[in-house]
Amino acid sequence: MTVAAYAVAALLAAAGAMTLIRIVRGPTTLDRIVATDVLLAITASAIAAVAAFTRDPTSLPVLVVLAILGFTGSVAVSRFITREKP
């Protein structure tokens, strides 16, 4: 189980690093919004993985709040996107 925990941690860390590179580079704001959504999903996955490997359900309400409210940021920003050159 420890091997699985290290494997999941390595995979999620690599995924988060690549998503951060896209957030920094991303030519337009919409690319950054998509990458931020992915980073939020990876963070939620990491919190759930910690809860699973320690068998400690304390942090699960955080995931409920993230799942309900996580989309409001990207909706709000993409609502007010104006025309921009990539």
Partner 1 sequence: MTIAGVLDALAAACMIAGAALGLSAGVALLRFPDLLSRMHAATKPQVLGLVLILTGCAIRIGTLVDITTMLLIALFQLATAPVAAHMVGRAGYLDGHASADVLLADELAPDIHKFTDNSEEKTD
32 binds partner 1 (CB under 8 A): no
6 binds partner 1 (CB under 8 A): no
Give me the 36-55 binding string for partner 1, x by CB under 8 A, dash otherwise.
-xx--xx-xx--xx-xxx-x
Token pair recorded at residue 82: 């104006």
The DSSP code for 56 is -
Instruction: Give the Cα separation of 1 and 18 in Å (integer).
Output: 26
Chain center to CA of 67: 11
As a whole number of Å, the CA-based R_g of the chain is 15
Is the distance from CB of 33 to CB of 56 less than 8 angstroms? no
24 binds partner 1 (CB under 8 A): no
Q: Which parts of this chain interact with partner 1 (CB under 8 A)?
A: 1, 4, 7-8, 11-12, 14-19, 21-22, 28, 30-31, 33-35, 37-38, 41-42, 44-45, 48-49, 51-53, 55, 57, 60-61, 63-64, 67-68, 70-71, 74-75, 78-79, 81, 83-84, 86
